[in-house]
Amino acid sequence: MRLDFASDAFDAIQEELFEDVLYTPAGGGAAVTLLKAIFGVEIASARPEVFDQTVRVGTHLTRASKAKFAGIAKGALIKDGTAPEFDDGTEYRVVDVQPAGDGRLEIEISLVVNS
């Protein structure tokens, strides 16, 4: 009985935490719908020094399953939203991909403007 409750609770949490995406590989491959593929999008910013000036750089981060994004590379497009239309979603371009150390990927993404 407890195992059923825990399983139901985990399923409910997954429904809220993981988002569907429309994924277009770098190089212009066909767009593919990936269900429950990313773990939210967080704003990330940095203040690197360039030519002795501090510059604010804004970007976004998300975490995703390695299995869902096998072969993901810089330049790929990710659009979050609600499958299957994704009309209400935001489109991002992949800037960098690194292993997160917990079986997921940390994906640095940037907003796509005027797509």
Rounded Cα distance, 106 and 11, in Å: 23
Specify the pLDDT at position 42: 81
**46-84 pLDDT per residue, tens:** 666 767 776 666 688 899 988 889 889 999 999 988 888
Question: What single string gives the DSSP state of each residue in 46-97?
Answer: E--EETTEE--EEEEEEEEETTTTTT--TT-EEEEESTTT-TT--EEEEEEE
Domains defined along the chain, listed by start: 2-111 (2.40.10)
pTM attached to this predicted model: 0.73
pLDDT digits (tens, 9 = 90+) for 15-55: 556 789 999 999 888 999 999 888 888 877 666 676 777 66
